[in-house]
Structure 1
């Protein structure tokens, strides 16, 4: 076995470096997709089309997919480390998360940018996400539910239970009453507490500044005196949320991901050195876009819709349509799909399936609403300019004059990235979409 691992690096959606002679190791990495520790920041979980890496026949190279993170494993008695970084840098990833959670990172941006230990960075990111999801959820305290309890004594507590009081009244001169008491949901508290202990021991949670909301929730968990037991998938699936505690679902889901952390190795190799930590950049990109679009367009009366549309109900070919972003004002809609793919305005960047998917969504809504605009939104890898945008925008759907729906490919210019430019390009992007309201 080699003394130091062979390192294979890539930026997401770009070819791997040092892939010559390491194709088999990359294939092994792909074939063990189910063993990846994939941590979600929301409830999108679009794993159905997840592609961690693929072979591009056009240039005969292995390309990374949309996941970022690190996997360390043994293959044919050789150590490998695969590192996939955000193609626009760590600062942009953390900026998107700041927008999603509406919070400023306590860590200095310079230290994030210079961080070489990517496993450490991903672990810190997971711990940061967990704390902020917990703080965001803790509006009404740790989830509780009502439990019926009985009291036997000389006074009534709650409501008298006549049937249960007959014998005690004769024998002990006591009555039985029934009352309800709110108790901490044991499954939720066990899952959260277990995740907290793992994060504290293995993810350096203590090095992150904890908000008052998260601190209060942790204190409640520790005070709940929940007996630590072995947690199963059934315990997780049995978790129910009433309306007041629905905000806890994201942090409970992330906690379960942390608890069930898998070993990235073959069945014969149970080495503790075989690990993987990944997050889905497509998920981050979509939630980020939803956040900034909702915040921006709500000022002018638009509302963000969350639609799951079953088409052809009761038919063998029924299908579920889930548009990424739908904005509604009165009878007017804007329909967008967030695509975290390479967009350099080359011919092959315009995916045929994506094209048909967004047109399906737009045509569905056209049946009952006025769709004023729609299209695909990307992180742009080539500098934005107005001449190119003219070629990526149609004033009517299909360039036919049958509708007034504008169709376009747009996004945020992430070339030559720095903090000042990111803010400027976000505003430019939002301004371009705002202009579409003139109908």
Structure 2
């Protein structure tokens, strides 16, 4: 059984009774977190890979990729197409995806290309100051001490009539688990992409990989997560921690695709498109919002606030983390949250925006901009749907008012970054003007 779907879309055609029974078991037993490879290092909570809606319709979740379960497979393709994901990834990371016909099967090529681009970008960024040469203790035997004396080992050596002492010195080395993971991932990606002359790799990565391979060999053992966690990075080499973990995940999923085997073991690789959409929105927002300062709430822990605090202990309850916070003069001016959903009306959301998203934005505004008497606003940013070119009603009637001068704006952003920047600038201009009028009247 091989099913193909598109992310955040109903399966077409809907599954047969046997297929639905398999999907139900998959939804119950397979956790997305076990298969998702993070793009930015941190992710929000997971959602189901597939689910059955209240009306019995089966939907794919927000992930793209392939997985196998109980000897059957599911491939989830990007609903806006690979070209759109290319645009988002390039805008968010400056990584260019190359065409990779090679030996990849057509339904798997997009996931391999995305993974390779994310991995290559992360490797080059981590190696900005060089390869991860880490200190380790090296033991040597000889008639003289080099470093510090290993007393127990030296006494045993002397007692055995060796006439030598054992000393320990600290030296920098590339021979460690992080290097093994990076080279192992490179070998998996290289074989599956099959692109001549490693055209998918940036020039800097091509320069650095041979230096690691000279230490690890061409096919190093894939380290465990515990081995990577034991590495003590320096401030300069700390950037290798996330790329080493990403490399371990890639290397352990040799094949990168849902190869069906008789054992029925769950295998596969998924990418969280909602995570990529969030990175894209943040990037275009930083260009559009100048001169305002944009901070990323999901990544900056100092921006995290609690909705409630106990009068007894002061303990916080209900974490609030907006995707983007806009500042001016040390004061929060607005909030933006990226929603990888449809803004058009649906059976579950007849007005377009989902109820929980409205409550979430209201909570953000109330907590991050609590002062009454000045204009404040929040933006919910959705991807434009080329298949439905009409402007959603929630966007047409924006802005929407809450109490205390708070406003909520809905917008659907184009998939080309320059167009998205232009739209955000046009959207923010009247909001800023109204804020200035509000402040002048206050």
TM-score (norm 1): 0.77
Tell me if 1:337 matches 2:331.
no
User: How do 1:29-428 residues align onto structure 2 when only pairs under 5 Å count?
Assistant: 29-34=26-31, 37-46=35-44, 48-58=45-55, 60-74=56-70, 80-107=72-99, 117-147=106-136, 180-184=170-174, 186-204=176-194, 208-225=199-216, 228-229=220-221, 231-261=223-253, 269-270=262-263, 275-297=267-289, 299-305=290-296, 306-308=299-301, 309=304, 311=306, 312=309, 318-333=317-332, 334-346=334-346, 347-348=349-350, 349-367=352-370, 372-381=376-385, 382-383=388-389, 385=391, 389-394=395-400, 396=401, 398=402, 400=403, 402-403=404-405, 405-413=406-414, 423-428=418-423
Query: How far 1:66 sits from its partner (Å)?
Result: 0.5
Q: How much has 1:245 moved relative to structure 2?
A: 2.5
For residues 178-216 of structure 1, the C-alpha deviation after alignment (integer angstroms, 9 at most, x for no partner) is 875322361211221222222233443665432122112
Contact 1:392-1:409 at 8 Å conserved across structures: yes
Q: Structure 1 pair 81/149, CA: closer, same or farther in 2 (3 Å)?
A: closer
2 CA distance for matches of 1:345 and 1:411?
13
- 8 Å CA contact 2:343–2:394 kept in 1: the answer is no
Counterpart-to-counterpart distance in 1, 2:48 and 2:223: 30
Could you tell me which runs of 5 or more consecutive residues in structure 1 were left unpaired when the two chains were aligned: 168-173
Question: Residues 30 and 90 from structure 1, CA distance in 2 versus in 1: closer, same or farther, beyond 3 angstroms?
Answer: same
Moved more, 281-290 or 19-28: 19-28
Worse-matched range after superposition: 256-265 or 343-352: 256-265
How far apart in 2 are the matches of 1:151 and 1:371? 70
| Counterpart secondary structure, 1:105 | coil
Kept in 2, the 8 Å contact 1:12–1:87? The answer is yes
Give 1:432 shift: 1.6
* Aligned-residue RMSD, C-alpha: 4.1
CA contact (8 A) 2:7 2:64 kept: yes
Contact 2:179–2:216 (Cα < 8 Å) also in 1? no
CA distance in 2, matches of 1:386, 1:57: 24
State the match for 2:439 in structure 1: none
Length-normalised TM-score, structure 2? 0.77
Conserved 8 A contact 1:8-1:17: no
| Inter-partner Cα distance in structure 1 for 2:174 and 2:412 | 45
Q: Given that residues 265 and 271 in structure 1 are in contact (C-alpha distance below 8 angstroms), is that contact kept between their aligned partners in structure 2?
A: no
**Shift, 1:280, TM fit:** 0.8
Using the alignment, how far apart are the partners of 2:395 and 2:200 within structure 1?
43
Cα distance 1:81–1:143, how it changes in 2: closer, same or farther (>3 A)?
same
User: Do the aligned partners of 1:13 and 1:66 also contact (CA within 8 Å) in 2?
Assistant: yes
Shift of 1:284: 0.7
Alignment partner, residue 171 of structure 1: none
Distance (whole Å) between structure 2 residues aligned to residue 371 and residue 50 of structure 1: 35
Deviation at 1:257, TM superposition (A): 1.7
